[in-house]
Structure 1
Amino acid sequence: MRFWGVNSTSFYPEHSVADAYADNLAKCQINLLRPHHLFRQSLDWNPGMGSGAIVDYRNDSRTFDPVMLDRFDYLNAALQRNGIYLAMSVHFSRRYVPGDVKIIETDKADEAAWMSALSELNGWNWKKAIDVRKSLPVIDERAARLNEEFITKLMKHRNPYTGLTYAQSSQVLTLEVINESSLQYAITCGNRYPEYWQNKLEAKWANFATENGLSDPGDFYKPSTQKAKALRDRFLLELDEAYYQRIRNVVHETGSEVPMMFSNLWRGEGALAIQSEHSEVIENHAYIDPLVVRNAKDGLGDASLNALVDKPYFIGEFNQAEGERNIREQSPYRTMLMVAAAAYGNFQDWSGIVWFAWNHGTPAIAPDGKSVSEGRESSLGNMVADAMMTDHLRTAGLMFRRSMVAESSDPIALWIDEPYPGDNNYHKLMTGKFRVQSGWFNRHGIRRSFGPEPSGQASEPWFKESAGDVLVSDTGEIIKDTVRRQLTVTAQEAEAFSGFLDEAAPAGLSHLILDGEKDFATVILVANDNRPLSKSKSLLISRTAMNPEQQEIDGPKVILANMAQPSGGQWKFKVTRPSSISEAQSVALSADANGRLILPTDVWYEAELVLAK
């Protein structure tokens, strides 16, 4: 089973809106939702709703807000009725507050010092505080106990609208411990904690160093010898590992058997090795240049860094690159992400792709469960409002969920042996020990495994050579041409094109014939009846186009060749997007002298074609 999902951020809708929202997601082929930032005090996204979080934050961060919890429960029940699973977290952007101190009762001096440290942390700019706050429960007993308490409360909470606890519910597909965190990464980046925790962390390090034969550990942030560097990396990784095991035990004590992961972002081989040993599911996040045909190297290859042999793999947050300049320069080509994600996700045997974010907060969603306003501009935070992306959401979702593109027939396993690079060096940590060279991700399935490096690995072409300019998958179904800047997909049940049209026909396509002049276009054609395209009697197609000046145009002209012949019936064409004309009646299509179907050239972004008697 494959999962085509979205992140939903700080979203607590009224019941009627939740019903419409879940129904709309299901119609868009979404079958997985990742609730995000549930602990964030999001009054900017949820005005007039208490704290704007799942807890009330009146005296502490330990008490559920009953209204928000009820809305959360009802939304999840509505999602479940529509076949939509949940990718859950237990660390939900939590902001610990001084009132949490009584989770452990110590002496007055210690409690006052803890509250003072927390007040200091909460006063920091979010960029300075983010990695510290995420990793705090790894080094602080109170924060760890607070997380354990929340997990127990949440997993044992019975959703009144399903009759099941979250521990019992098979709707909860995965569970992450901490979002985008690694203590080794945090310290390598120079993060320091308020003095109360900093002293405790460095005291633990001094004891660990002494116990492991390092009499003078030196500066915690600037280990001076190779032994000190390696030992400090091991110390930090073992703290993460111990916390992960602790949380796993708490989850299991609630009766849950949900597949778990520690964190979900590439943080080097050491962190990934822990996941390899203990996690049932692996995840990474990726915000990339959508024009994957720009170079042999692309962001999808980097997104696969966490993929492990024999482990289900998800991209839990996925979209175009962030930042004002990236959005300005890359947004016109963002529809290529839909084709690339679905095609290469199948080819690489990824279990799920989860777009970030469908919506931020409640005001973004109208009573009908759709966007309050839909436009043709990029919107990473409220993808529901980005019609150009959602034009292709259903076709790409069908391609991915139904595995229309074949898995790699000749996959590569990249073996990583110890020692793993860290050395108090950010670039070594993030680059890793070994990497497959540019472009090979587009030719072969690639996953990592931990163990002795095979004797011939270093001499493999994918280990030392670029894969070239025209990258054909080992199945022959995907062609990424960096010269023509075109991505094409040709499979039995699907064909797709995304890139710049030129004077010649795109390579490999046998059903899609596209006519345009130097325009950037994305077209996805899928069979909706589990038949090969040549025999299908029910098709779904989506298309968008930009001219060289990056202005959206109607197009390209689409002709379908080698399709099922009417034989007493007739092809009917019905526009399903944009919604302003989707209520129009079906239009009958007649084949030309060559038996090809010439689709209408006026405005349409998504349409259904049915061969009816």
Structure 2
Amino acid sequence: MGLLTVITCQNHATASDDWLPVRETDLSIQTGSPLDFSRFLRNRPIDGAGARLTVGDGGHLARQASPTGKEVFHCASLAWSPASGGFPDHATADVYARQLAMRGYNIARFHFLDASLMMGRRRDFDLDPETLDRVHYLMAALKRNGIYWMVDGLTSWRGGHGGFDDRWGPAPGLKLEMHYDDRAFEHWRQLVTEMLTRVNPYTGTAPIHDEALGLLILANEGGMEFETVVHEIPGRPHYPSSLKQPFNTWLQQQYRTTAELREAWGDLQPSERLEAGSIELPRDRYLDTPRMRDLQAYFIHSEQALLRRMTDILRGLGYKGLISSYNNWPTVQTALTRSELQAVAMNTYHDGVNGYEPGSSIKDDSAISGAAAYLRAAAAARWLGKPFAISEYDHVFWNRHRYEGGLVIPAYAALQGWDILCRHGHGPIALRYGEPFPHKRGMLPYAIALDPVARAGETLAALLFRRGDVSAATNTIPFAMRGLDDLDGDMQAREPDDLTSLALVSAIGLRRGNGLRAPHAVDQPRSSEKGRDMIAALKTAGLLSAANRTDLAKGIFESDTGQLELDTENSLLKIVTPRTEAIAFSSLPSPAALDILHVESAQGSGLLALSAIDQTPSLLDSKRMLLVYATDARSTRMRFRDPEEKVIEDFGTLPVRIRPGSVRLALAGRSGRWRISPVGLDGVVHPPLYRGSGPVRLDMSNETPHGPTTFFLLEIE
């Protein structure tokens, strides 16, 4: 078997080894580079109580000093571990924070902070002093650069327990038990106290009192149902025995007698008696039963009670910022839990992978052809009137369509009017290729800093989302939620596909109401046909243009602003705004005309975008524009177990290689003396490759004399 595996891997060595090797090693950009967005995305000082983030008018994030304003945050995910290098020393932290600000980031998420602080520690809550010092210094460096912090109170399943080295992998216990076990809750309380209340010597105040702490997530992905799914083992009970007693206690508060419970459920066994506390947990979570419906109701009760209890602890410690939790799973049950949050956060992924081991696999499908399902799932989790953050998202490597991620989430997040957008990774940028850490020796899932395709997407996210190139929707469609009446026996129940498709047209979100009975709201009970009816109703009311091309049956969706158009059949997404035009395509059998940017042909799949970067109001006026062209990228000698390249055998090594590609493009309405210069991944502008006088029209390749790139500078005189 082993010999056969080796032969199979050799036969499936991929064409990526013939792709173009990246030549840059230093990835730090210089001030004034076309990739330096700090010239027009300026981070304001975080200097006093007035800078603290709050819930402003309309339920959006605002600074306390200006509650009528709206703050939009492009987030840097700092999910470091020893394998990815850990927290930087002081000198590197200064450089790193400045680089983040230059690239348009204005908030950073500290993820798995507990794991880093407890790595290698033998005693409970014995935080590593060197790591804590580095964390404190980085926080100060970020704050000096106008970058807020978003912090998890608990990420690691090991929390503050000493004596464990598996801090980044799932382990049963703490996240579930803190809902009903006082010892587990006390552990969380002491952990956040130790992590956040020690005075930071570089700011002069404890992080929990610092106005730079903009959002605190109580526990990452800590939902009760989710925790039991994470630890599900075939052949074992789906729910741990520790849940039985608290579930029985709750049932005793809901039903007066065993007879009443039997009438409600209809499936009690002779050994089950409410008075004796002997009611069993569901044996199979995937069977829809009244017993399962009540378990979901118990989860809501327990999660909301824990939320209130944790919030009280933090307020007692003096924290004045925003709080969120339960930031994954778009089910009806979790949505009802999130109704009591001050701010809602959500994690969402397309084609995720759970490990780096040989044999890990992906589907390698297009998000656009699936009508951006991961975006829609997140949109259906939002509660209107509350700030909304995407605390994690990614279109995960090695999916060959991940160029889509640079448009899908940032563009529709802007359309939805969301507040924070955080693409998950070990870190969003790297200062150089070739750092001596296991997770930086080649490209990996969630290592977006090393991926030129993901970096191109993050660059566009700063423009589409934070700068606001994509406008917010003109319409908002509320989805009514009554409460426990919305539960049924299906623990996986979520909003119907046709209804979440409305998020590709207008803003959507949940709102309390026992049947809103408004002409442009989605009421309970849900009807999947309501999506098509809603589009027709919006057109009849004049809230959606009669010319809007949305057709749910054909998989075509045009935003109510007219700026976004998604075509599932052709895996095509077009964006047309005054300052940015972009297109993502899996193939281009015929020319695609946006407004100014016309793509006449293209070799293979990819993303092409044109953005004004000289602070002019539109591409029609701009003299300095950034062209972004992203195809695909992989490590050298990356190998798979199958010809479809869905099952990994070896992630390979540096250098990163970019798939060669070319496009024929033209700009309508733009002429003059023009030149196009390649911009390295380090932001260096190289001598022009293309020049002309008159209309802009050319064949452009991502292969340059200085190596492949995803960036070009277009200048027109």
Do they superpose with TM above 0.5? Answer: yes
1:78 to 129, 141, 148: 141
Closer/same/farther in 2, CA of residues 68 and 339 from structure 1, 3 Å limit: same
Distance 1:248 1:178 in 2: 12
Tell me the residue number matched to 2:630.
544
Relative contact order, CA 8 A, sep 6+: which one is greater? 2
Q: Which residue number in structure 2 is paired with residue 489 of structure 1?
A: 575
Q: After superposition, give the CA deviation of every residue in 1:224-272 in whole Å (9 maximum; x if it has no partner).
A: 9976554443333222212111111111122221111122002532332
Structure 2 equivalent of residue 472 of structure 1: 558
* CA-to-aligned-CA distance 1:41-61 (integer Å, 9 cap, x gap): xxxxxxxxxxxx213664433
Mapping of residues 145-544 of structure 1, within 5 Å: 145-186=186-227, 201-212=243-254, 213-215=256-258, 216-217=273-274, 218-222=279-283, 228-266=291-329, 268-288=331-351, 291-296=366-371, 298-321=373-396, 331-359=399-427, 379-420=444-485, 425=489, 428-432=490-494, 436-437=498-499, 439-455=501-517, 457=522, 458=527, 460-462=530-532, 466-507=552-593, 509-517=594-602, 519-528=604-613, 529-544=615-630
SS in 2 for 1:211: helix
Contact 2:572 / 2:586 at 8 angstroms: preserved in 1?
yes
Mapped contact 2:159–2:188 kept (Cα < 8 A) = no
Answer yes or no: is the 8 Å Cα contact 1:470–1:482 preserved in 2.
yes
* Counterpart selection for 1:7 from 73, 77, 98: 77
Change (3 A) 1:607 1:83: farther
Distance in 2, matches of 1:151 and 1:203, equals 28
What is the distance in 1 between the residues matched to 2:609 and 2:592? 14
Kept in 1, the 8 Å contact 2:117–2:132? The answer is: yes
- Where 2:195 maps in the other structure, the secondary structure is helix
- Residues 191, 491 of structure 1: CA spacing in aligned structure 2 closer, same or farther, 3 A cutoff? same
Judge conservation of contact 2:121–2:128 (CA < 8 Å) in 1. no
1:555 aligns with 2:597: no
One-letter code of the match for 1:211?
Q
- State the Cα deviation string for residues 52-71 of structure 1 (Å, max 9, x = none): x2136644331221101001
Would you say 1:575 and 2:678 are equivalent positions?
A: yes
Q: Normalising to structure 1: TM-score of the pair?
A: 0.79
Change (3 A) 1:202 1:252: same
Question: For 1:431, what is the secondary structure of its paired residue?
Answer: coil
Distance in 2 between residues matched to 1:376 and 1:346, nearest whole Å: 34
- Please, what is the CA RMSD of the aligned residues? 3.8
**Shift, 1:164, TM fit:** 2.5
Identity %: 19
Task: Tell me by how many angstroms 1:530 deviates.
Answer: 4.7
SS of residue matched to 1:533: coil
CA distance in structure 2 between the aligned counterparts of 1:544 and 1:276, rounded to whole angstroms:
39
Give, in whole Å, the separation in 2 of the partners of 1:199 and 1:554: 56
Counterpart in 2 of 1:144?
185
Contact 1:54/1:69 (<8 A) preserved: yes
8 A Cα contact 1:498 1:522, kept in partner: yes
Contact 1:486-1:499 within 8 A present in 2 as well: yes
User: What SS is found at the alignment partner of 2:110?
Assistant: strand
Paired AA for residue 149 in structure 2: L
State the Cα distance separating 1:596 from its structure 2 match. Answer: 2.7
Question: Which amino acid in structure 1 is aligned with residue 246 of structure 2?
Answer: K
Q: Residues of 2 paired with 1:124 and 1:72: CA distance? A: 18
TM score, norm. by length of structure 2: 0.69
In structure 2, the partner of 1:89 is: 152
The unaligned stretches of length 5 or more in structure 1 are 41-52, 101-118, 322-326
Please tell me whether the aligned partners of residues 388 and 420 of structure 2 are also in contact (alpha carbons under 8 angstroms).
yes
Q: Distance in 2 between matches of 1:402 and 1:124?
A: 37
SS of structure 2 residue aligned to 1:559: strand
CA change 1:525–1:583 in 2 (3 A) is closer
CA shift, 1:400, in A, is 1.2
The 1:372–1:404 alpha-carbon spacing in structure 2 relative to 1, beyond 3 Å, is: farther
Deviates more, 1:229-238 or 1:161-170: 229-238
Does structure 2 retain, via aligned residues, the 8 Å contact 1:167–1:255? yes
Deviation at 1:460, TM superposition (A): 3.2
Give the stretch that moved more between structures: 383-392 or 498-507.
Answer: 498-507
Q: Give, in angstroms, the shift of residue 546 of structure 1.
A: 6.2
1:582 to 1:186, Cα distance in 2 relative to 1, 3 A: closer
Partner SS state of residue 54, structure 1: helix
Distance change in 2, residues 1:473/1:59 (3 Å): same
Structure 2 match to 1:46: none
Whether the aligned pair in 2 keeps the contact of 1:55 and 1:63 (CA below 8 Å) is yes
Q: Which residue of 2 aligns with 1:32?
A: 107
Aligned: 1:607 with 2:712: yes
- Cα distance in 2, alignment partners of residues 375 and 249 from structure 1: 41
Q: CA deviation at 1:584?
A: 2.6
